[in-house]
Structure 1
Amino acid sequence: MVFNVRDSEERRIKTDYPREIKKVDHIWIPMSDGKKLAATIWLPVDAEENPVPAILEYIPYRKNDFTAIRDSIRHPYFAGHGYASIRVDIRGSGDSDGILLDEYLKQEQDDALDVLDWISNQPWSTGSVGMIGKSWGGFSGLQVAARNHPALKTIITLCSTDDRYADDVHYKGGTMLASDMLWWASTMFVYNARPQDPKVVGESWKENWLDRLENTPPFVEEWVSHQVRDDYWKHGSVCEDYSDIKIPVFAVSGWQDGYTNSVFRLIERLPNAKGLIGPWAHEYPEVATPEPAIGFLQECLRWWDHWLKGNDTGIMDEPKLTTYIQDSAPPKVSYDVRPGKWVADQEWPSKSIAKKNFYPNHMQLSEAANEDSITVPSVQQHGFYAGVFCPFGQPGDLPSDQRLENGMTTVFTSEPMEENMEILGFPMFHATIESDQEQALLAVRLCDKAPTGESTLISSGVLNLTHRNSHEYPDKLIPGEKYQVSVQLDAIGQHIPIGHRLELAVSPAYWPSAWPSPKAVTLTLHTGEDTKLSLPIRKAQSNDEQVRFENPEIAQVMEKKVLRMEERSRKVSHDTVTGAWKLEDYSDEGERKLVTNGLEYGSKNKNTYTIKENDPLSATASCEWELKVGRGDWQTKLVTFSEMTSDEANFYLTNTMSAFENGEKIFSKTWNKEIKRNYM
């Protein structure tokens, strides 16, 4: 995970603001239990004479080093336009007290309410607060909004979800995300273990560090212990009761992000919500790839000014959903630019959307239904070229040409399109299925096939078939019995031009995206009226051409020195003798030194996913990290290794951590855990 600021000729660095600003580099915010959280604040210099509303970003990613560069382009911008912009490290992260025991605990929300109390009582505060955040910060905004603190008037949530079980990094469609469940846990495992800064907390840093190292758990143990949608996942999932959120919400994401789907659900169910989806990866839209980036900070100001200052900026008179319809493009693992167009829908669901059904018939995807049955066997190595679940904009994140995958699945191909088609929303695959095993999954890919043969993955979905009726109460399949199931694919905004074809690929294996079923599965797909691909087709609207955004503006980027450049590789290998397939994903995120505080930080991460042909129980995921943070003669390093395997009955987890101070090992520990498989 790299927080970068890319250069662009059209990205204006703003240095002149309506209000002169100052930065308070460190301040303690007291909690009701006596602990304290570390914060940085940017605000107008005259805010105590002329109080201002506040903007809160509340995340665990270390304000003094890891996010300092990205914080520098955003928070001063808000402050210069008349806001107190506050960046808080949550409990157990950065210089804040305590230990971070898991994601999104009630304690985290309670602390946020204390932070809102504290902000409301400051002499520079009008008492009105907005929250903004991407990813963890976006989740936090939704969850804190549901707690209804009187000072919190609105939120902007980016790249987040309303559903922690069905649409997050742990499980999707009732399947375990093999590529990301362990990776994300290993990421937080090493992130949480970083020490506080001695310059901020003093001599207690070492004692506190050892406490964190010993008592911060590997989150993956808890996540794998909850394999169905139980109370653990319901907590923090605002979809459990959308009516808990009574304030306006601006929901933002991108088509390359792993968290696009929730935008549609939020704007449908929250009356004062607006949605924005661009072509972007998991990043803020003013700096995101692929282009076009937009003047997102200006859009934020329009939102803040309306809801926090009471100025009618006109933003609530605009369409409920603004999206970027991407043009068809050849498959590439990285794009700098995605051609397309902005469109606007006044409401969601939109009256401009109509369903169009396609029916599989042997190897054709036609608009006529014909009865037949098709055998769909398992090929365990299917899925190595799917790209990453949640791209951050790094080179190599995206899916390769799907011709590399199609030979390992059952593929239905349409006739060439006779007219242009624009898809906006959720593709759905409805199917009548038989399985020869009690436990099985169904993976579905939707591709845009060019006349020259290239196949671009445009959406995918997966369903654990034991979860066909409920994620909370799964039940086994009866081999040979027919089931009617529906797989929702990820939402898309995609143009399919004349002459292109649709490809629909189905398989009971999708490694390493989904953890394999315990036994190799053969499915039987029964075609006919009940087996169909349903696409949301959008008709162009007269106001589409009116969608415009300003060019991006950012504040002055914090000065840094690059000590080591970034490096990225993703390699798939196949041993034809053993039948073993391997994906090695390596990311050296580089090393930097911040000029303002002298802190140096950097990391390296290698993730390896292996499986043998015809052997689902050979699946192994492993994640390695090396992370450094230091200053001058104070240098720390963390080295971790995480691994996950399974047999028919259990999952097996191993996590190891070693910590070094100035080259000397001062801590080492191994965690081992065996967890029973539960319909996985």
Structure 2
Amino acid sequence: MSLAFERVPAQPVPEHARQHMVRMRDGLRLATDVYGHDRGPGPAVLVRLPYDKNSRYVFFDRVAERFTARGYVLVVQDVRGKFRSEGATLGWTGEVDDGYDTIEWVTRQPWSNGAVGMFGDSYYGFTQWSAVSSQHPALRAIVPRVTTTGVRPGLATYDASVAQPCWLEGVDYQAHIWIDNETYEYEADLTKRPLVAAYEEAFAAIGKRSDGFDLAVHGIELTAYNGPHPYDARPVPVLHCVGWFDNLGIAHMRDYTELAKRPAWAAVQYLYADTIDHENYFLEQAPVQPENDHMADDAALSTMLDAYCGPALEFFGVFLKDEAAPASLPRVRWKLGHAGWRTSPAWPPPGAVPLDLELGAAHAALGPLPGGTLSPAADDAADRSEEAVSWRYDPDDLVPSAVANTFMQLHGHPDESATAARDDVLVFTTAAAEEPLDLAGPVSAVLHVESTAPTYDLFVRLLDVAPDGAARLVLRGCVQADAPGPWQVGLGHTGYRLRPGHRLALMVASSDFPNHVPNSGTAENPWFTTAPKASLQKLTTGGARPSRLRLTVLAAPAGPEGGERP
């Protein structure tokens, strides 16, 4: 029986938009909607995306109402090979030249005064960085949201400096979005071995395949920038809109911190960090109830769009319309989870200091919470005895991911205490907080681990354990290891208040399915293995090999709850 799938075509162009087929330098034409075209010359905001410019998923007819009301022309374009646009369908390629050519077209229109900004999430954040690489002189400001300059669709988008497990969600995305102009909805049977067979079944049913998928499963990286890398391009003012719960958050904050090292970029970059996931669900509403679900409820969508558009409109007011001086914008505006908004001149904020917690009581780490201990590292830690604990990796009994779709992490925001109780998971927990503990900056773990296999994965989650025992995600990260540790696992940045009575827990496992492809346990590509190998991992702590969690915390609580609102 053939796999069932649904083909999703382009939705109608709204009546209040005017669609143009804009010609690129190679003669191909890209479908481009213009909102606010019936006004005199003014600044334009450009969005270039692959998700159907007219779909409810991207809601640009509603976004346009907010931008045109503030005097902007909003220009929204299907990228090459997607929906109404012409050309071959292969993401992350061609965006530099297409971005330049589209900006050039915008500047030649009667409704344009020559000033262009760009806006948008995820892939349409990446197209902004591609336009930066093109170095068109009319590009005056960008607002990339929950995105990255990097191009690693088949790998976890965490730390590019170390090997990463295969990010199944990223490759699955290729197999649904990047086949042809339309998108395809289907459920791949991820129990198949080899795993690639699940997608071969889908491509056979559809009658087409995804070139991006084929590149990703073979580990072939795409060449995105035929111009300079954005870091090396002409700086433009940038408002990084980061989500503390975004699955691209580590990569996005890497862009921010790398650009902060470059004086010309540092002078024009700003940070706006909210407690959101990739799909713009909020921590304060998690788990999301129907009345707060903007994917399904129009009133909830309207409320979300005010928060979604507001920072960009303020930023463009400064850099596209000269309504205020740049000094009027806080350099960093960040939300402290469970407390509220804060501003600071830099990130991490002044007063943030490292706090090292050492993993202890390893003998208790296998089993339910609280497991082993997390306690402040002492000066005499080297005098402590080493201790170790082993855990298994069984490809026939994989550790479940917290959610099947990490783009919507906060929609369900589940209790992970049952996962922490598995006998193939390690967990280490702090004592209950007596006072608020404010996390404000990067978090990482240094783990001394070895394995019986030549390759193994380390998946690390930082959890908030409530007084009732429920454990919910704060941060996560992973590495793919090929030797004994120590391995540093970056968990990204956060602004998060651990409330009195709550505890932090560090969870360590060797699988995370279905978010990631199970390790083959050998040198074989895990997409093609039919018999992945089990293994045994051992973590050591104490003595000369202390395994540690490093937090960045504020030395004093960050003001009253509620905080400053943006």
Q: Same fold (TM over 0.5)?
A: yes
SS at match of 1:123: coil
1:301 aligns with 2:313: yes
Which residue of structure 1 aligns with residue 389 of structure 2? Answer: 375
CA distance in structure 1 between the aligned counterparts of 2:218 and 2:56, rounded to whole angstroms: 30
Which residue of structure 2 aligns with residue 103 of structure 1? Answer: 91
SS at match of 1:251: strand
Of residues 445, 453, 464, the one that matches 1:437 is 453
TM-superposed CA distance for 1:70, in Å, is: 0.5
1:127 aligns with 2:114: yes
CA distance in structure 1 between the aligned counterparts of 2:24 and 2:75, rounded to whole angstroms: 16
TM-superposed CA distance for 1:388, in Å, is: 3.9
Letter aligned with residue 490 of structure 2: Q
Of residues 465, 478, 489, the one that matches 1:462 is 478
CA distance in structure 2 between the aligned counterparts of 1:535 and 1:324, rounded to whole angstroms: 17
TM-superposed CA distance for 1:455, in Å, is: 1.7
CA distance in structure 2 between the aligned counterparts of 1:453 and 1:298, rounded to whole angstroms: 37
Of residues 322, 325, 335, the one that matches 2:336 is 325
TM-superposed CA distance for 1:282, in Å, is: 2.1
Which residue of structure 2 aligns with residue 505 of structure 1? Answer: 507
Which residue of structure 2 aligns with residue 92 of structure 1? Answer: 81
Which residue of structure 1 aligns with residue 322 of structure 2? Answer: 310
Q: Deviations over 1:486-513 (max 9, x none)?
A: 1111332221123322222222233233
Of residues 137, 140, 150, the one that matches 1:163 is 150
1:76 aligns with 2:65: yes
CA distance in structure 2 between the aligned counterparts of 1:418 and 1:465, rounded to whole angstroms: 37
Please say if residues 99 and 215 of structure 1, whose CA atoms lie closer than 8 Å, have aligned partners that are also in contact: no
Please say if residues 168 and 259 of structure 1, whose CA atoms lie closer than 8 Å, have aligned partners that are also in contact: no
1:279 aligns with 2:267: no
SS at match of 2:140: strand
Which residue of structure 1 aligns with residue 528 of structure 2? Answer: none
1:176 aligns with 2:170: no
Identify unmatched segments of 5+ residues in structure 1. Answer: 4-20, 196-212, 328-339, 467-476, 550-680
Q: Deviations over 1:399-456 (max 9, x none)?
A: 4333333323122222222332111222111122222221112121222222322222
TM-superposed CA distance for 1:324, in Å, is: 1.7
Please say if residues 165 and 478 of structure 2, whose CA atoms lie closer than 8 Å, have aligned partners that are also in contact: no
TM-superposed CA distance for 1:41, in Å, is: 0.6
For residues 498 and 286 of structure 1, do their structure 2 counterparts lie closer, same or farther at Cα, with a shift above 3 Å needed? closer
Higher helix fraction (1 or 2): 2
CA distance in structure 2 between the aligned counterparts of 1:403 and 1:241, rounded to whole angstroms: 43
TM-superposed CA distance for 1:87, in Å, is: 0.8
Identify unmatched segments of 5+ residues in structure 2. Answer: 1-5, 9-13, 185-205, 260-264, 287-291, 293-302, 362-371, 522-532
**Aligned residues: CA RMSD:** 3.4
* 1:48-447 equivalence runs, <5 A: 51-65=41-55, 67=57, 70-100=59-89, 102-105=90-93, 107-165=94-152, 174-189=163-178, 192-193=181-182, 217-226=210-219, 232-233=221-222, 235-236=224-225, 242-268=231-257, 269=259, 270-271=265-266, 272-283=268-279, 293=304, 295-312=307-324, 314=325, 316-327=327-338, 340-362=339-361, 363-367=372-376, 368=378, 369=381, 370-380=384-394, 381-388=397-404, 390-392=406-408, 395-396=411-412, 398-407=413-422, 408-447=424-463
TM-score by length of 2: 0.76
Please say if residues 402 and 457 of structure 1, whose CA atoms lie closer than 8 Å, have aligned partners that are also in contact: no
CA distance in structure 2 between the aligned counterparts of 1:237 and 1:280, rounded to whole angstroms: 33
For residues 108 and 266 of structure 1, do their structure 2 counterparts lie closer, same or farther at Cα, with a shift above 3 Å needed? closer
Higher strand fraction (1 or 2): 1
TM-superposed CA distance for 1:263, in Å, is: 4.2
TM-superposed CA distance for 1:355, in Å, is: 0.5
SS at match of 2:214: helix
Please say if residues 178 and 511 of structure 1, whose CA atoms lie closer than 8 Å, have aligned partners that are also in contact: no
CA distance in structure 2 between the aligned counterparts of 1:392 and 1:245, rounded to whole angstroms: 34
Q: Deviations over 1:455-481 (max 9, x none)?
A: 222222111013xxxxxxxxxx3xxxx
Please say if residues 92 and 223 of structure 2, whose CA atoms lie closer than 8 Å, have aligned partners that are also in contact: no
Q: Deviations over 1:201-248 (max 9, x none)?
A: xxxxxxxxxxxx877634211012226xxxx35635999662325101
For residues 138 and 544 of structure 1, do their structure 2 counterparts lie closer, same or farther at Cα, with a shift above 3 Å needed? farther
Letter aligned with residue 326 of structure 1: G
For residues 459 and 434 of structure 1, do their structure 2 counterparts lie closer, same or farther at Cα, with a shift above 3 Å needed? same
CA distance in structure 2 between the aligned counterparts of 1:453 and 1:433, rounded to whole angstroms: 28
Letter aligned with residue 250 of structure 1: L
CA distance in structure 2 between the aligned counterparts of 1:257 and 1:345, rounded to whole angstroms: 21
Please say if residues 164 and 237 of structure 1, whose CA atoms lie closer than 8 Å, have aligned partners that are also in contact: no
Aligned length: 476
